[in-house]
């Protein structure tokens, strides 16, 4: 009997060792490889670099991870190349999870997810998972940049001397409409509540270039759009494109003696391009979202999600926890920085809620009745710009 017991114990011990040996490990000799597809160059000091830097932080801080990437995934830089083709290449190189960082990749990411049901996919800024239109192995991730854009509009309105704020927009879709509208609402609040000036004296204009960044011969040249803004009396320009032309031109104009400022976009370090002209930058921090999704996948717990992550209001510039931040620029006055801090606190505690009626759409139709607050769905799917804004809605 004792001999049988020993044999059973030995067998169970061997089975336990075998089971432990079969558990997935992601040590340096067998990393969890994730792929990153970026619409622009990895060093654009804007949208794509914010993603690239976050992925590098994942490699540093999440043991067992390794990134592989392909940048400049757009029709100009890679004509005729499809997202599924690039995904095939990443999968062949060992990627177990693939991130596509542009709204323009929506169809390609969905197609690739269906082709590779054993690979995890994350589409940035889309909403297929929210609408039930995405393959079950595809999630969506986006930051609540509406708050960052409200801050951008707020400092723009406090700073302008002419009352004319320009918005350098990319292409027109629900995302860009809601972000430009958020900028306008932040500017309107500062203009009427802080400066106590009549709303009729605030002029806000959006000029769209046609894509997320300049493609010669395809889009409007953002440098020329910027110069036209400034020549027309717009002295603060808030950028919505992926790259830093707005700030660069503003810096050049200041050196020529013009009193102008800009607010770049996307990337925490963007102000470094022309600090003397920079009021600040609303930026994405993709690290918290990436970490959540990648560690879940590593642990076999990936599930389809629609993540729309906001600031950590305890510290909006906390690199570990805040998906949205705002970095004050050197050109922002101390007085306006204090006002911005109060504005941020109001957004945090809910005492300031800018998507509240009465608000009309650009065509005069009612968006929100007096006292009515917009739902997340209404904000996400904003069909027009708001009344008081100049520029195309469609």
| pLDDT tens column, 135-145 | 999 999 999 99
Mean pLDDT of 221-238: 98
**Residue 343: pLDDT over 60:** yes
What is the average pLDDT score of the chain?
Answer: 93
DSSP letter for each residue of 237-303 = EEE-SSSSHHHHHHHHHHHTT---EEE--B-TTGGGGSGGGB-EEEEE--HHHHHHHHHHHHTT---
Mean pLDDT of 183-194: 98
Q: 29 falls in which pLDDT band (50, 70, 90)? A: low
| pLDDT of res. 30 | 79
Strands 236-239 and 280-284: unpaired
Domains of the chain from N-terminus onward: 32-143+286-309 (3.40.50.2300), 145-283+327-390 (3.40.50.2300)
* Continuous segment of H or E residues that includes residue 2: helix 2-22
Mean pLDDT of 98-110: 96
The DSSP code for 116 is -
For residue 334, give both structure tokens: 């101390």
* Continuous segment of H or E residues that includes residue 208: strand 203-208
Least confident of 10-14, 99-103, 206-210, 292-296: 10-14
> For residue range 268-324, what is the model confidence (pLDDT) as tens digits?
999 999 999 999 999 999 999 999 999 999 999 999 999 999 999 999 999 999 999
| pLDDT of res. 105 | 96
| pLDDT of res. 129 | 96
Q: What residues contact 100, with CB distance under 8 A and at least 6 apart?
A: 37, 73, 83, 108, 109, 121, 122, 123, 124
Mean pLDDT of 177-192: 98
**Residue 25: pLDDT over 50:** no
Q: Report the percentage of the chain scoring pLDDT > 90.
A: 92
> For residue range 348-371, what is the model confidence (pLDDT) as tens digits?
999 999 999 999 999 999 999 999
> For residue range 141-167, what is the model confidence (pLDDT) as tens digits?
999 999 999 999 999 999 999 999 999
| pLDDT of res. 27 | 44
What's the start-to-end Cα distance of the chain, in Å? 83
Largest CA distance in the chain: 97
Contact predicate 326/317, CB 8 Å: yes
| pLDDT of res. 202 | 98
Mean pLDDT of 205-232: 97
Compute the CA torsion angle 213, 272, 279, 146 (nearest 10 deg): 50
Contact predicate 333/342, CB 8 Å: no
The DSSP code for 374 is P
Contact predicate 50/244, CB 8 Å: no
Phi, psi of 238 (to 5 degrees): -100, 125
| pLDDT of res. 28 | 44
Which residue in 167, 69, 225 sits closest to 392, CA to CA?
167
């Amino acid at each position: 009997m004792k001999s049988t017991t020993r044999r059973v114990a030995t067998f169970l011990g061997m089975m336990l060792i075998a089971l432990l040996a079969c558990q997935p490990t992601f040590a340096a000799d067998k990393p969890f490889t994730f792929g990153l597809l970026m619409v622009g160059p990895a060093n654009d000091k804007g949208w794509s670099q914010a993603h690239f830097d976050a992925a590098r932080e994942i490699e540093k801080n999440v043991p067992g991870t390794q990134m592989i990437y392909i940048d400049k995934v757009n029709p100009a830089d890679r004509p005729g190349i499809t997202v599924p083709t690039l995904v095939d290449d990443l999968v062949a190189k060992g990627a177990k999870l693939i991130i596509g960082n542009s709204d323009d990749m929506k169809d390609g990411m969905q197609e690739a997810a269906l082709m590779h049901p054993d690979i995890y996919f994350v589409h940035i800024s889309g909403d297929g998972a929210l609408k039930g239109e995405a393959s079950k192995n595809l999630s969506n991730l986006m930051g609540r940049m509406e708050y960052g854009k409200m801050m951008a509009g707020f400092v723009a309105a406090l700073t302008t001397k002419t009352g004319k704020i320009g918005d350098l927009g990319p292409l027109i879709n629900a995302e860009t409409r809601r972000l430009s509208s958020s900028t306008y609402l932040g500017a309107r609040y500062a203009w009427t509540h802080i400066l106590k000036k009549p709303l009729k004296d605030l002029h806000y204009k959006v000029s769209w270039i046609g894509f997320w960044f300049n493609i010669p011969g395809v889009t409007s040249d953002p440098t020329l759009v910027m110069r036209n803004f400034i020549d027309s009396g717009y002295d603060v320009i808030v950028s919505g494109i992926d790259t830093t032309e707005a700030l660069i031109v503003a810096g050049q104009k200041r050196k020529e003696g013009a009193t102008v400022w800009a607010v770049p976009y996307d990337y925490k370090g963007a102000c470094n391009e022309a600090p003397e002209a920079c009021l600040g930058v609303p930026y994405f921090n993709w690290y918290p979202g990436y970490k959540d999704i990648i560690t879940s996948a590593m642990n076999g717990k990936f599930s389809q999600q629609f993540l729309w992550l906001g600031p950590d209001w305890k510290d909006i510039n906390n690199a570990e926890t805040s998906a949205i931040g705002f970095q004050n620029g050197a050109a922002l006055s101390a007085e306006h920085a204090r006002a911005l801090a109060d504005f941020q606190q109001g957004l945090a505690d809910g005492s300031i809620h800018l998507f509240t009626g009465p608000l009309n759409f650009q065509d005069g139709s009612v968006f929100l009745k007096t006292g009515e607050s917009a739902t997340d769905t209404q904000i996400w799917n904003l069909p027009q710009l708001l009344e008081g804004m100049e520029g195309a809605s469609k």
